[in-house]
Structure 1
Amino acid sequence: MTGEQSRAGGTPADEPPVVVKIGGAKAVDPAGAVGDVAHLAANGRRVVVVHGGSTVVDEVIERLGMEPEYVESASGVTGRFTDAETMEAFTMAMAGKLNTELTAQFREAGVDAVGLSGVDGGLLSGPRKSAVRVIEDGKKKIRRGEHSGRIESVNADLLSGLLADGYTPVASPPMEGTESDGGVTPVNADADRAAAAVAGALGADLVLLTDVAGVYADPDDPDTLIESAATPDELATVENAAEGFMGKKVMAATEALSGGSGRVVVADANINDPIVAALGGGGTTIERSALGDEADGDAEEADAETGGETA
C-alpha cells in the first residue's frame, strides 16, 4: 500500500480523481510531476493534468517579432492581453507545442496520456470576452480586441469517459469561446482557473504545482509557510498573504472548492514526488470547510476584468 493509500484510508479506486496543474513558468520542472502521475496511474488513481505555458508563449510571441503584453485589472490582477496575433502565437505554443511535448513525456513514462485543448469536445467553454477593463497610467480604460473567456462549462463526461477507459487526460487552454452570434472562437483562459473548473466539475482533489513550497505568511520568507486553512478566518489569512501570481492561485482554489472540489493544495513542483507529497500534507492545503457558508462571488467580477494565462 502506498503512502497516499494509507493516508486516505482506502484504495485509489475509492478516492476522488486528482487534478494536477503544472505551472508554465521556466522555474517549474515537470519531471517530478510526470513520474508521480505515472506512479498514481499505475496504482489505479484517476488523474487529470492541466498545464500552463506562460514562458513558452512569451518566447513564441517574441520569435514572431511581437512583444508580450500584460495588463492590470481594477482589482490588481495581472493577465495577458491577447489580441488576434497574440492568440495565434498562444495556440501555437500551448496546443501545438507544449501540450504535445508534455503528452509525449507522460507516454514515455508509461502513462496512457491523451492530449486535449479546451476546444476539443467543448472541454472548456464559455463566453468570449472581446474587451477588458484595465488600469493604464493610473486610469481605468477599456481595451478592445481581446481573445479570452470565462469558463462556464466543463465537459466532465468526456473526462470521466477517458478516465474510465484508463486514459490520463492532459489538457490546456485555449478554451472554446462562444460569440454573441453563436460562433466558436478559440480564446485564452488562465490555466490555474481552468484546472479549478475541471476539479470542481469532477469533484476532484486539486494540486496546484508551482515553484515555491506554498503560500507564505511573509512572501519573502519560506519559513513562514501556511500549512493549512480549514476555516473562513484561516482562508482570509491565506488570501491576505497571497501576492502577485499566488493571488490568482488562491482565487482558483476558492473557485475549485465552490465548484465541488474537496480540497486544494498549493505545493512545490520541484521536490521529489511532488504530487504524493502534496496529497500527504505538504504545501498549503485549503479545505472546502474554509468557505464556510459563503459562496465565492468574486470570480465573475475578476473574469470580467482580465483573465488571460499568466503561469
Structure 2
Amino acid sequence: MTVVVKIGGARAVDPEGALADVSNLVEEGEDVVLTHGGSTAVDETLEDLGQEPTYVETPGGVVGRFTDEDTMDVFKMVMPGTLNTDLVESLQNEGVNAVGLSGLDGKLLEGKRKSAVRVKEDGKKKIKRGDHSGKIESVNAELLETLLSGGYTPVASVPMLGAEKDGGYTAVNADADRAAAAIAGALRADLVLLTDVSGIYEDPDDESTRIDSASTPEAFESVKQAAEGFMTKKVMAAEEALDGGAASVVVATANADEPISGALSGEGTTLEPGVLADDEEVEQ
C-alpha cells in the first residue's frame, strides 16, 4: 500500500504526531509520500517583509491566493526552502531517510501557467493579470516510485513547473491539497489530508456532526453541501484524487498521536471511489 499524506499549513496544525506516524508506517514496510502546505508561513513572511498577502474570490465563490511576482519569490523561499527542509530534518531524526522535492525537481508537478485569473470584486467579474499560478496536469510518478523502491521517503511541495506560452518554464503556485490529490491519483494511493479538525462536519461548529464516510454520489453531495471555507478546497481535491485513481481519501486531524494510522482506520471523514457519478468513475 502507498499512502500520500498532506500536512496542512495552518498555525493550529502540529506535525509532530504525523511525522512519528510516518516513521512507524515506513518501519512496517509501507510506502509513504509526504506533502505539505504553508499558507500561514508564506503570509507571515510576506508581512515580515512589509508586504500584504492578496486573496481573491473566483466567480464560483472559491477564495484563493493571488500570487504576484514578489509573492512568488517568497513562496519559493518558504515552501521548498524552510518548510520542506524542516520536515526532512525532522523525519531524519525519526529514522526516516527522507528526500525533499519541489514540483520543479524532475518535472514532478507540471502544467500550464495561468497569468490571468477571473475574480469577483465588489460584485463584478474582472480579469486580474500578473498571476503566477497553474493547475497540475501531470505528475512524474516514476520519480516517486524510484525513490520509494530505493528506500527513500519523498517530501514533496509546490511550486509546480509552469509551462509558458513561449515554450519556456517558470515556477508557479498551485494549491497544496490539489497537488497531494494529483500525486495520490498518479500513484493509485490512499490520500490522507491532515488538518486542524477531525473531519468534515454537517455543522461546521459542531464536531459531533462529523460525517464518517461517503461511498455513493448522493452521500458525496451531502459532503459537498456541508463543506465551508477552507474545507471546500479539500473536498474539491478529494474529488480530483478519486477521479485520478486514488484508492481513498480521508480528511482527518493532524493533532493526534497517530493521525495517519487513525485516519486509515476510520478516524475522520473517509471518501471512496463510489462517490463519483458513473460517468466520472475511473478504472482502478
What TM-score range do you get, normalising by the shorter chain? over 0.9
The 3-state SS of whatever aligns with 2:158 is: strand
Offset at 1:63? 1.4
Counterpart among 214, 225, 229 of residue 214 in structure 2: 229
Shift of 1:125: 0.4
| 1:262-282 alpha-carbon deviations (Å, 9 max, x no partner) | 110000000120000000111
* Sequence identity percentage: 64
Q: Distance in 1 between matches of 2:247 and 2:188?
A: 7
Task: Could you tell me which runs of 5 or more consecutive residues in structure 2 were left unpaired when the two chains were aligned.
Answer: none
Q: Which residue of 1 aligns with 2:199?
A: 214
Aligned twin of 1:18: 3
Matched, 1:75 2:60: yes
* 2:264 aligned partner: 279
Task: Give the counterpart of 1:41 among 26, 40, 46.
Answer: 26
Please point out which of 219, 223, 227 is paired with 1:242. 227
Select 1:89's aligned residue among 57, 74, 79.
74
1:202 counterpart residue number: 187
Distance 1:180 1:156 in 2: 25
TM (norm. structure 1) is 0.89
Q: What whole-Å deviation, never above 9, does each CA across 1:13-66 have from its counterpart, x for those lacking one?
A: xx2x00000000110000010000000001100000010001100011111111
Matched, 1:171 2:156: yes
Counterpart code for 2:137: E
CA distance in 2, matches of 1:170, 1:70: 27
Q: How far apart, in 2, do the equivalents of 1:28 and 1:153 lie?
A: 29
Equivalent residue of 2:159, what SS? strand
What is the rounded CA distance, in whole Å, between the counterparts of 2:195 and 2:50 in structure 1? 29
Question: Does residue 1:133 correspond to 2:110, yes or no?
Answer: no
**Does 1 or 2 have the higher relative contact order (CA < 8 Å, sep 6+)?**
1
Matching residue of 1:263: 248
- Cα distance in 2 for residues equivalent to 1:110 and 1:38: 7
Write the deviation string for residues 129-182 of structure 1: whole angstroms up to 9, x where unpaired: 000000111111100000001100000000000000010000001000000111
Which residue of structure 2 lines up, in the alignment, with residue 120 of structure 1? 105
Q: How many Å apart are 1:232 and its aligned residue?
A: 0.4
Give the partner amino acid of 1:295.
E
**Whole-Å separation in 1 of the counterparts to 2:27 and 2:257:** 18
Task: Count matched residues.
Answer: 281
Residues in 2 aligned to 1:138 and 1:293: alpha-carbon distance in whole angstroms: 36
Q: Partners of 1:64 and 1:187 in 2: how far apart?
A: 20
1:106 alignment partner AA: L
Decide which of 154, 163, 166 is 2:139's aligned counterpart. Answer: 154
